[in-house]
Structures are given as structure tokens and as C-alpha cells.
Amino acid sequence: MNYTTEKNKKNVLASPKARKFARELGVDVKNVVGSEKRGRVIEKDIKKYVSSNINKKEDIKINNEYEHSEFGQIEIKEVPRIKRIAAPHLINSWKNIPHVTNHDEVDITEMDNFRNSLTDIYTGEKKKITPLAFITKAVASSLKKFPSFNSSIDDIKNGKITLKKYYHIGIAVDTPHGLMVPKIRDVDKKNINQISEELKKVSEDCRNLKIEKKEFFGGSITVTSLGGIGGSFFTPIINYPEVAILGIGRSYKKQIFINEKFITRTVLPLSLSYDHRIIDGAEAARFNNDLKDNLGSNFAYKLAI
């Protein structure tokens, strides 16, 4: 029942929490239809209102009674072009994909030790290979065991999904121009050295705006890492038309109880967001477990081959 009428529109019932939520989204709570008793507005109603208006030609106007300049000095700047281009894509992904995020940790102590022990066979110099190269290779290996993570839902109404037989991993690159996600092609066919070199190349090409547009398309899954900046767990947005994205936090030392005693280990935070229409929680947990095995002591050295 629609309780919000012209008569009571001025006195909409809503909790302070709901009103704050509406203000943060730039929504006038008076325009929201309340679903609770006596037309009381809750957060669910505000989300529904935003969702129903997002496809309209007119943007939802920010409910701001005052200009920012009334409170002090301000500066108006242009939103970077890359971010303007990405904005509709992100909105589309967030609106159309039911996101769920699985958080976990992986013990990468042995992988880190192995990575730091790698040297050039000709010069004897230590190789500088980041954990991301190993993670990228490990993700490709897990995709082979869990093909639904390497798919796209192109025709959900008719129950059709596209299963990809290639393993092209998208890597989120932080640039002065905004976030870019080029693909590392055929990761399953490349060794750690090749992946490491390619990661450096695509990152440099993105920062110098020398990467081709096609390299942003045709991905299997995306990996986004905040390890170099900081933080632990977060909720990455799926890069449509992919169905999953893996977020990596900063590794840290942790006391873990092993063989009747606490031992200091290096752990890595994982945040796996997935499309709940095709991937369920149990499958996501199994994917993370397989990924953890790939990055553990029994498999890390194989990834370097």
C-alpha cells in the first residue's frame, strides 16, 4: 500500500538512520514511498527509490540547501576523463549484479620465502617478482577447476551463460588518470617470469596512456590489489561482464597455532566478490580454498615453472 500521499508528504516518518542514509545518497526522503506501518521509510525503501530512478534521464538531485562556498573557500575541478568513462560502467555493474563478498586469509609464508629466494641463473642477482605475479597464476589455475568463475551471463532470461576456454586475467592498475583494468592474456600458458614482465609492461602502458582499448575487454576475472597502499578487506565491484573479482589486501604477520604452539606466519587478506545469480556461497568458499592451496607451500614452486 502506498502510504505517502500529498497530504502527509511533509511529515514523512523515518528514523534518523534512514534520513542520514537518504542524505548521503542525495535523496529527498519526502519522495520515498515507505513500506512500514503508517508509511514509515526504512533504508530498503531508499535503495528501491534510487534503483527505480537510476535509469531515468534526469539525475537524482542532491538535496543540499546551501552552496558549499557559503561555508568557506572551495575549488571546482574537472573529474578525470578516465573516471568519467568508468562511472556508468561501475553504476551498471553495481545495479545489475547481485554482489556477495567472501572474505578469507591465506598463509603465504612459504610462497613469500620462495619468491624472495629467486635469482637470475646467469647473473646471480635477486629477481624482483611481486606477489601479484604468483596470485595471477594461482587464480588462473583455480579457474580451470571452477569454470563458472570464468563465465559471463549474457542471456539470463533464457538461462544461457558463456563459459570461456581462455584465461585472461584483468589487473586493476592505479594511474594518475584513474583506475584501468588491462588483461594479461593466456596466463595459464605463461610462467612467473613472463607474467611478471607483462605486469610491468601493461602497468607502464596504462600510466603513459599507450595501451590499446581492446586490452580492457575479453577478461576472465579481475584481480585488484591494495597491498602496495594498505588496508585489509574490502568489497570490490565486479567488472561486468565478468562474474567475479578478487581483492587483495596488504600481507601482515600473524601468530598462528600450529603443532601445539604459536608460530609467526605471513598472511594475505582475500576479498572475493561474485555474482550470486551463477555462483553460490559454498562454491565461492571452495574457490577460495583452492586458491589458498595454490598459494601454499605445496604448490607455490610449481607456479614458477
Contact between 233 and 271 under an 8 Å Cβ cutoff? The reply is yes
The radius of gyration computed from the CA coordinates of the chain, to the nearest angstrom, equals 23
Distance CA 64, CA 113 (A): 54
Strand-pair partners of 150: none
Of the candidates 59, 50, 58, which has an alpha carbon nearest to the alpha carbon of residue 24? Answer: 50
Specify the 3-state DSSP secondary structure of 246: strand
Distance CA 199, CA 187 (A): 11
Q: Which residues contact 233 (CB under 8 A, 6 or more apart)?
A: 103, 247, 249, 269, 271
Is 103 in the active site? no
The catalytic position among 99, 103, 177, 276 is 276
DSSP 32-90: SPP-SGGG-B-HHHHHHHHHHHTTSSSPPPP--SS-GGGGS-----PPPHHHHHHHHHH
Which residues are marked as active site? 276
